[in-house]
Amino acid sequence: MISNKKLGLIGRNISYSFSKKFFEDKFQKLMLKDHSYSIFDLNEIHEVEQLFSTPDLLGFNVTIPYKEKIIDYLDELSDEAQKIGAVNCVLIQDGKKTGYNTDAFGFEKTLLLHKKPYQNSALILGNGGAAKAVQYVLNKHGISSITVSRSTEINFDNLDQATVENHPIIIQCTPVGTFPNVEDCLKFPFEGISKNHLVIDLIYNPNYTQFIINASEKGAKTVNGYYMLEQQAEKAWEIWNFQKK
């Protein structure tokens, strides 16, 4: 009897997730009847220990708010995941649990597709796991950046128009504005945005967050998180299928 290869996603309040449909469509296209993808909605990260005892679990994706917390439960990290300090993909092989970061791969693809040569400094809004992957990619490409969060020196209360004007790349990495709270928007000096800006919002549901709508009204080039999501998912699929020793 063929064993069922189980994959899934861990996070909190993630019923809206794109991953399940993405991978189920992939299984269908590749005619993989022995694969399944489940949503594991965990109230607390320690519940992942129960998940690890699931038979035939090949691995899983990790989303908010566990990309950093999952690290304590893993045996090993890829070089990138170690440098970033966040994991969004776990491979389980012979009982060994290895963490990877495919957000960096997905974000890099998105950035390079849209970035103009004169855009060489960025504002990263938020400081969670996704923001860490974004910072890693910006550093790799020599793009200077400032992180804006509730707890940083420049925060959402004191961020000013001039700072926004001087940073032509803006990456929105917080969950503010995600479905179903689509009316929500970060406090942000949109008057600093112009047609010289590239604004990337990592949210993909809705397609156009209030943040993206406000930025596009100022003439900025705007991009949502869908392409990044597809790319990081493809990279995760590669890891689950081709990392076998």
- Residue ranges of domains in the chain, CATH in brackets: 5-101 (3.40.50.10860), 104-227 (3.40.50.720)
Residue 1 has pLDDT above 50, yes or no: no
Structure confidence at residue 239 (pLDDT): 97
Dihedral angle of Cα 24, 84, 206, 150, to the nearest 10 degrees: 150
Burial class from Cβ neighbours inside 10 Å (0-12, 13-18, 19+) for residue 132 reads buried
* Alpha-carbon distances of 162 from 145, 165, 190, 194, 210, rounded to whole Å: 15, 5, 11, 12, 22
The widest CA-to-CA distance across the chain, in whole angstroms, is 65
Quick one: average pLDDT of 48-52?
95
pTM of the predicted model, to two decimals?
Answer: 0.92
Order of strands, edge to edge, in the sheet holding 198-201? 144-148, 121-125, 169-172, 198-201, 221-223
**From CA 91, how far away is CA 193, in angstroms rounded?**
41
- Beta-sheet pairing, 96-100 with 89-93: antiparallel
Q: How many helices (H) and strands (E) in the chain?
A: 8, 11
**From CA 34, how far away is CA 114, in angstroms rounded?**
38
Quick one: average pLDDT of 113-135?
97
**From CA 200, how far away is CA 82, in angstroms rounded?**
25
Quick one: average pLDDT of 106-113?
97
Q: Count the alpha carbons within 13 Å of 237 in the hemisphere toward its beta carbon.
A: 19
Res. 4 pLDDT band, cuts 50 70 90: confident
Residue 177 has pLDDT above 80, yes or no: yes
Structure confidence at residue 3 (pLDDT): 62
Q: Per mean pLDDT, which of 107-111, 178-182, 238-242 is the most reliable?
A: 107-111
- pLDDT tens per residue, range 185-229: 999 999 999 999 999 999 999 999 999 999 999 999 999 999 999
**From CA 233, how far away is CA 153, in angstroms rounded?**
34
Q: Do the Cβ atoms of 20 and 37 come closer than 8 Å?
A: yes
Residue 103 has pLDDT above 60, yes or no: yes
Quick one: average pLDDT of 129-137?
96
* Alpha-carbon distances of 216 from 37, 201, 209, 221, rounded to whole Å: 36, 12, 11, 7
**Rounded percentage of the chain residues whose pLDDT exceeds 90:** 93
**From CA 46, how far away is CA 173, in angstroms rounded?**
25
Residues identified as active-site = 67
Quick one: average pLDDT of 80-91?
97
Q: Do the Cβ atoms of 168 and 121 come closer than 8 Å?
A: yes
Q: Which residues are CB-neighbours of 81 under 8 A, at least 6 positions away?
A: 71, 87, 99, 100, 101
